[in-house]
Structure 1
Amino acid sequence: MKITAIKTFPVRIPLKPERRMISALGKHDVSEYLVLRVETDAGIEGAGEATVISRWSGETVWSAQSIVDRIFTPLLLGHDPCDIDGVNQIMDKIAQGNWFAKSAIEMACWDIKGKEAGKPVYDLLGGAARSRSIKCRFSMGAYSLERAERRTKELVAAGFTTIKVKVGTDPDDDVARVKMVRETMGPDLELTIDANAGWDAATAIAAMERMEEYNVALFEQPTPRGDFAALAEVRRAIKPEIMADDICFDLADAKECIRNEACDVINVYPGKNGGISKTVAIVEYSAEHGIPCSIGSNLELDIASAAMCHSVIACPNMNIEQYPGDILGPEYHEISVVKNPLQIEGPVITLPEAPGLGIEVDWGVVEANPCS
């Protein structure tokens, strides 16, 4: 089988008003992502999605489209899409970074490989280590106290048992928000926080001391990307466990986190890591060193969310039972770009049992929602 074309579609999908995100990285009201289709001479097609945000990975929908169209596609035409390692080697040799663009192509190739074999991607990764129904936490933005209180009540009623609160902005506002969420959710449910690299070590430690009475179970990425020593400093100084996220894009980053004893758990997902294969490599390396992993999110649509589900289902060390992850991106958006949206009921997302990624893109909807 050979790749005959890679077609790209910049899309613009608004978030539901009640789901719009506020964090240390800014506001996220609309998603401008790249959806792509890999075509083959066998008539089998694969779908991919680059969930790009410039302030996160440095990629935009236009840079992703450009590198796919102008750099990756000419090199991949004629290549076997089922040779996933070869596809990754070609992309990595010609370009640094560009994690989400690479991931979009790689997940489309996995989609093709699964369809050709008549198997879901998680079977190709070694088989199911857990159920296709995955329980998630809810990621709450850095909202006003009134909105945080209202949203917490809604989430508890919907069955969420873990709520993550965005911090990393003004410490006084953040501490007040965490206090409000804890008081509203009660003492028995799990509360975690995420600073998205918004604080330095001293600020993070001081803020955590003020939040100690609110029984925070886990502190995600308190300190800036690239500063492994700062993350380790916070870990030594506070009681909650530390999750590495913004600081860990690839296997080299994961090795540095572990070498510096900077975290208790590592957050991974195919978009950030450059593909499903690279996510699996980080998860397996972490397992060898006694560090569990969980699944993060960039508010994906159904395509990339399906890729995330396959990664979770296939990897035993993707310890979402102890560290619930985020795969609820489709629920944040006003419309779906697939004909069979992933089933989301409260905190649980369920992956269909079907070959490849298991989703069928509605290309009419994709083309009807262009980013221009």
Structure 2
Amino acid sequence: MRISRIEALPIRIPLKPERRMISALGKHDVSEFTLVVVHTDDGLFGLGEATVTPRWSGETARGAQTLIEHVFTPVLLGCDPCDIEAIDARLDAVAVDNWFAKAAIEMACWDLAGKAANKPVYELLGGACRPLTIRNRFSLGAYTTEVIQPRAVALVAAGFDTLKVKVGTDPVADVVRVRAVREVIGPNIKLTIDANGGWNEAQALDCLAKLADCNLTLVEQPLPRGNYSGLKRLRERTGQKILADESCFDEVEARELIEQGCCDAISLYPGKQGGIRRSIRIANLAAEHQIPCSIGSNLEWDVGAAAMLHFIVATPNMQVELYPGDCLGPFYHEVSLAKNPLHISGPFTTINSGPGLGIELDFDVVEKHRIR
């Protein structure tokens, strides 16, 4: 089985009005991602998804399409898609970073490998170490008190036991928002916050002091990426548990976080890490240093979310039981590209049965939403 052709399809799907996200990075009303289809000479094809957001990773749907078509495809034609390490090496040899575009290629190769072996991807990764249904937290945007309080109450009623609130916008409004959520959900629901790197060190110290009685489980990416010394100081001065996300794209950054004592947990997901294989390497590295990992999200569609689920189910140090993550991306969008969408019920998302990633595309829907 050899790679014969690669398609990169930019697609645009709006979010449901009530799920549109507001964070330190601005508003996310519409997802413009790139769907990847890797074909082989024996008629099989695998699916991948580049969940690109220019304000977050610096990648765009059109940029990923161009890179995949003109830079990645020439070095991958004729390769064995099941040799994931060799595929990764070829991608790294022709482009630095561009993690989401690389991840889309790698996801599709895992999908192909599973289909060829007639096994789900998690079995190729060593088998399931936890149930195939994952409990998630829910991320609430930087909404006003009038909007966020009833939404928080409804989410708790729907079964969510962990909520995440976006901060990193205006520090005064951030504190008001978090306190408003804690007020209506009571003391027993876990509450985390995510600044997306939107605070400076002084703002983070002030806000966390004012939120000290809110019993925060985790403080996610309070400072901009790259500020390792600031994260270390903030962790030591506040005693809050720090979850690193934007600070960790690759293994070099993971080692820096761990060796400098910057965080208590790391957020991983295949898109950000450049694929499932690299994500597992970082999770295993963190495990060696007793650092638990959880899963983040770029509001993936079904293909990207499926890759996340297979990674979680097969990786012991993806401790979603301790720190629930986000595998709810398809639920945020108005339509699904899948004939068999992932089953999402309240806080739970379940892996589809079937080989590979377990997702079948509805190509009519794909064509309808393609960016021309």
Identify which range, 358-367 or 343-352, moves more after superposition.
358-367
- Looking at structure 2, the residues matched to 28 and 134 of structure 1 have their Cα atoms a distance apart, in angstroms, of 25
Structure 1 residue 315: deviation in Å?
0.4
- Looking at structure 1, the residues matched to 125 and 112 of structure 2 have their Cα atoms a distance apart, in angstroms, of 14
- Looking at structure 2, the residues matched to 258 and 200 of structure 1 have their Cα atoms a distance apart, in angstroms, of 21
What's 1:231 paired with?
Answer: 231
Report if the CA contact (8 A) 1:338-1:360 is conserved: yes
What's 2:143 paired with?
Answer: 143
Q: Within the alignment, does 1:289 sit opposite 2:299 as a pair? A: no
Report if the CA contact (8 A) 1:9-1:367 is conserved: no
- Looking at structure 1, the residues matched to 42 and 205 of structure 2 have their Cα atoms a distance apart, in angstroms, of 57
- Return the TM-score normalized by structure 1: 0.99
What's 2:276 paired with?
Answer: 276
Deviations 1:261-313 (A, max 9, x none): 00000000000000010000100111011111000000000000000000100
Report if the CA contact (8 A) 1:218-1:240 is conserved: yes
- AA partner of residue 234 (structure 2): V
Structure 1 residue 98: deviation in Å?
0.5
Structure 1 residue 201: deviation in Å?
1.6
- AA partner of residue 329 (structure 1): G
- Looking at structure 2, the residues matched to 370 and 146 of structure 1 have their Cα atoms a distance apart, in angstroms, of 36
Report if the CA contact (8 A) 1:12-1:371 is conserved: yes
What's 2:125 paired with?
Answer: 125
- Looking at structure 1, the residues matched to 3 and 42 of structure 2 have their Cα atoms a distance apart, in angstroms, of 9
- Looking at structure 1, the residues matched to 144 and 187 of structure 2 have their Cα atoms a distance apart, in angstroms, of 21
- AA partner of residue 162 (structure 1): T
Q: Within the alignment, does 1:170 sit opposite 2:170 as a pair? A: yes
Report if the CA contact (8 A) 1:122-1:311 is conserved: yes
Structure 1 residue 371: deviation in Å?
1.9
- Looking at structure 1, the residues matched to 148 and 166 of structure 2 have their Cα atoms a distance apart, in angstroms, of 11
Identity of aligned residues (%): 56
Structure 1 residue 215: deviation in Å?
1.2
Structure 1 residue 239: deviation in Å?
2.9
What's 1:101 paired with?
Answer: 101
Aligned residue runs from structure 1 range 194-273, under 5 A: 194-273=194-273
- Looking at structure 1, the residues matched to 362 and 103 of structure 2 have their Cα atoms a distance apart, in angstroms, of 20
What's 1:114 paired with?
Answer: 114
- AA partner of residue 203 (structure 1): Q
- Looking at structure 1, the residues matched to 153 and 173 of structure 2 have their Cα atoms a distance apart, in angstroms, of 20
What's 1:40 paired with?
Answer: 40
Tell me the SS of whatever aligns to 1:56. Answer: coil
What's 1:159 paired with?
Answer: 159
Q: Within the alignment, does 1:70 sit opposite 2:109 as a pair? A: no
Identify which range, 252-261 or 357-366, moves more after superposition.
357-366
How many residue pairs end up in the alignment? 372
- Looking at structure 1, the residues matched to 344 and 14 of structure 2 have their Cα atoms a distance apart, in angstroms, of 18
- AA partner of residue 256 (structure 1): E
- Looking at structure 1, the residues matched to 102 and 186 of structure 2 have their Cα atoms a distance apart, in angstroms, of 42
Tell me the SS of whatever aligns to 2:55. Answer: helix
Tell me the SS of whatever aligns to 1:46. Answer: strand
Structure 1 segments (4+ residues) deviating >2 Å: none
Aligned residue runs from structure 1 range 18-57, under 5 A: 18-57=18-57
- Looking at structure 1, the residues matched to 334 and 226 of structure 2 have their Cα atoms a distance apart, in angstroms, of 35
- Looking at structure 2, the residues matched to 277 and 76 of structure 1 have their Cα atoms a distance apart, in angstroms, of 17
What's 1:7 paired with?
Answer: 7
- Looking at structure 2, the residues matched to 363 and 106 of structure 1 have their Cα atoms a distance apart, in angstroms, of 21
What's 1:183 paired with?
Answer: 183
- AA partner of residue 262 (structure 1): C
Structure 1 residue 319: deviation in Å?
0.3
- Looking at structure 1, the residues matched to 22 and 104 of structure 2 have their Cα atoms a distance apart, in angstroms, of 25
Q: Which runs of 5+ in 2 are unaligned?
A: none
Q: Which runs of 5+ in 1 are unaligned?
A: none
Tell me the SS of whatever aligns to 1:163. Answer: strand
- Return the TM-score normalized by structure 2: 0.99
Deviations 1:318-365 (A, max 9, x none): 000000000100000000001000000000000012110011111221
- AA partner of residue 17 (structure 2): P
- Looking at structure 2, the residues matched to 194 and 237 of structure 1 have their Cα atoms a distance apart, in angstroms, of 18
Aligned residue runs from structure 1 range 83-102, under 5 A: 83-102=83-102
Root-mean-square deviation (CA), in Å? 0.7
- Looking at structure 2, the residues matched to 284 and 213 of structure 1 have their Cα atoms a distance apart, in angstroms, of 34
- Looking at structure 1, the residues matched to 286 and 118 of structure 2 have their Cα atoms a distance apart, in angstroms, of 30
Report if the CA contact (8 A) 1:8-1:34 is conserved: yes
